[in-house]
Amino acid sequence: MTVRLERKSVAVSPGVLADAPKGTVTCLVAITGVLDNVGDIIMPGAFSRTLAQRRPKGVFAHDTTTWVSRAELVEEWMPGDPRLPARTKDGQPWPAEAGAVFVRALFNLKTKDGREAYERVVFYSESNECEWSIGYSVPAGGARKDPKTGVRRIYDLDWYEFSPVLFGAASQTMTLAVKSGMPGVVDTPQDEEAVRRLRNWYVRGEGAARIGWETPGAFERCVALAGEHMMAEQARGFCAERHHDTTGRWPGRHERKADPAVDSWDELLASYTDDPPTDPVADADAGGEAGETQGGPRAMVSLTVPTDVAQDLAVDGGLPPSELHVTLAYLGEGVEEDALADAAVVVEQVAAEYGALLGRLGGIGAFPDDEQEGTPIWVPVDVPGLVELRQRLLAALDEAGIWYSTTHGFTPHVTLAYLEPGEPLPDPVSLTPVGFNALTLAVEDDHEDFPLTSTGTGAAAAATGPADTDADMDVEAEETPDEEEMAVKRLAGWQVKAGRVLSDRNLRRLQQAADILREIMKDAGAWDGDEHDPTRRQPPEMPPEPTITPDSTAPSALPTEIKTVPLTAEQVRAGWEILEFLGR
């Protein structure tokens, strides 16, 4: 199996050990806890698991066919470790939140590649210009990206190699003074100049001209450029910062979707359906979690307790049966409509991967007192596959850049009531079978259900038995509407078919789909602006891209070209049919 590696460079110059075999070098190959120039923060402790499993190999310039050294000693130094340098290159105290990864490497001087790599390291270390980079991959759920800042926090990674490079991405630089054992201070003006030149190229230079900031698809074009010399996630983080530099705002999720290299035609429209809610839930609460306080309606992803079970669970003075649910992810207050549309796509895709969940609930529990609402009283939920479903949901939300609360751990439960101080607990709930057939995206009184439809036998199909009979009947009836229901209707100015109401959120999703499709066809050269684009919103023609030779193997190297994805004649025809149908 081939593992695609990400690279993370850091401006670090090594020292040569006087009391070790010739060819031994010590260096810090990664900095943790601080933001680097590609929009990432490797969190302290992220290397713990991978170091317990493997020792990384030393290669040259990330060429995995050129093995030049082995790691004699590898340690992750946590923030506050006394072995960390005292100061940064500009003389400021080493950040209290910063850690580092230390490597003592022995170069293979018996090979030509090993000797040449070692001599280059020694030569550039004399002027404090040698820097280091790591090659790694992030497992599913190992990182979270802040949708507001574009910063990706990496909590877990698989580390495979380290390499000497010319230019690094992190600003913390240092030299290991091998004789005294005391850290020194390094000032690398070449690094600052390379970073400045890179940013200017994207913000004000030829790169900015090619990208066309403030025009549709700008973020995708930036990602395509940066992706020539960065991993995909790095390119997106880097371009999010450049987008903010030029426009004063962070890119929207819909812009990322327009990348033809990422979204296939099948993926483009697969998530844009308009199914009405089948069993709405009412007011959404945080389920014991704390979200961002922005004001406005609260949003969450949940499992709705079936009506018959909810009626038996409800207690006097508590929540009504229609509001009983299991919270899977609390999305906060005042969530923007674009983010809700993205969340709906995510929830629908995850729901399609899982079958109905069957289990039981019973007992009684209480969380610590909530000053605003009282003491939450709840019933424990024991449903096989529920934890796995939630983990998959959170990973998908992370990938989409959608914020959710992580204030508390996950305790599957159904909140029944909020008690005032001194009120007695209700009697424990007797053991009760329960089944869940859908995921619900709830925004106060606005709800959307997404059926758990998978019938597979793999990990994604979490069903332990057949789905609820009534739910099957609902689906069957919906698939065979009568002629009257099939009539085309008009409602609030929007065309509706088969009696389905086109909600504002789904309307926005369809509009986004049309915009995405138009961008794909433009990028593929299949768009006739005069004939098919009366609004003429396409980007102005860009000047020819200059030939730029990368001066480094690190992520700071400049790009050389944009790759395009060709479309077949059949795909082009299908695209026009869709756009004409949508009136776009």
pLDDT, one tens digit per residue, over 46-88 is: 999 999 998 999 998 888 888 999 999 999 999 988 888 777 6
Last residue of a domain, one of 467, 484, 508: 467
89 and 24 both lie in a single domain: yes
Distance CA 506, CA 501 (A): 9
Distance of CA 13 to the CA centre of its chain: 32
Would residue 220 count as lying in a domain? yes
Contact 217, 523 (CB under 8 A): yes
Q: Are residues 150 and 17 in the same domain?
A: yes
Residue 207 has pLDDT above 80, yes or no: yes
CB 69 within 8 A of CB 105: yes
Mean pLDDT of 495-514: 50
Are residues 83 and 22 part of one domain? yes
Residues 215 and 142 in one domain: no
Q: Phi-psi category of 157—alpha, beta or left, where left has phi over 0 and alpha has psi -120 to 50? A: beta
Question: Do 128 and 32 lie in a common domain?
Answer: yes
Distance from C-alpha of 296 to C-alpha of 38, rounded to nearest angstrom: 33
- Please indicate whether residue 418 or residue 276 has the higher confidence score (pLDDT): 418
Lowest mean pLDDT among 157-161, 270-274, 343-347: 270-274
Pair (261, 291) in one structural domain: no
Nearest C-alpha neighbor of 28 from the set 49, 42, 14, 45:
14
CATH number for the domain harbouring residue 395: 3.90.1140.10
Task: Give 154-175 pLDDT, tens digit per residue.
Answer: 999 999 998 888 766 554 534 3
* pLDDT for res 545: 42
- Domain end residue (candidates: 467, 492, 521): 467
286 in the same domain as 222: no
pLDDT of 584: 56
- For every residue of 523-572, DSSP letters joined together read HTT---HHHH-TT--SPPPPPPPPP---S-SSTTSPP---------HHHH
Q: How confident is the model at residue 354 (pLDDT cuts 50, 70, 90)?
A: very high
List the one residue out of 127, 103, 106 whose CA is nearest residue 118. 106
Percent of the chain at pLDDT > 90 equals 22
How confident is residue 447, by pLDDT bands cut at 50, 70 and 90?
Answer: confident
- Please count the structural domains in the chain: 3
Question: Looking at 187, 216, 237, which one is the last position of a domain?
Answer: 187
> What is the C-alpha to C-alpha distance for residues 428 and 546, in angstroms, rounded to an integer?
72
Do 211 and 159 belong together in one domain?
no
Three-state secondary structure call for residue 21: coil
Does residue 334 register a pLDDT over 60? Answer: yes
Judgement on whether residues 393 and 370 belong to the same structural domain of the protein: yes
First to last CA, the chain: 43
Whether 39 shows a pLDDT value over 70: the answer reads: yes
- Inside any domain, residue 584: no
Residue 579 lies in a domain: no
Range of the domain at 92: 6-187
State whether 307 and 260 are in the same domain: no
Q: What is the pLDDT of residue 383?
A: 93
Average pLDDT over residues 39-44: 90
Is the same domain home to 283 and 264? Answer: no
Q: Name the band, by pLDDT with cuts 50, 70 and 90, for residue 29.
A: confident
Backbone angles phi, psi at 417, to 5 degrees: -165, 170
| Residue 63: inside a domain | yes
Q: Are residues 255 and 326 in the same domain?
A: no
Give tens-digit pLDDT for 418-445.
888 888 888 899 999 999 999 999 988 7
Residue 371: count other Cβ atoms within 10 Å of its Cβ: 6
Query: Quick check: 468 pLDDT over 50?
Result: no
Domain membership flag for residue 488 = no
On whether residue 360 sits in a domain, the answer given is yes
| 216 domain-assigned | yes
What is the model's pLDDT at position 476?
33
Confidence grade of residue 527 (pLDDT, cut at 50, 70, 90):
low
Nearest alpha-carbon partner for 579 in 525, 494, 504, 510: 510
pLDDT of 94 higher than 90:
no
Which residues are CB-neighbours of 531 under 8 A, at least 6 positions away? none
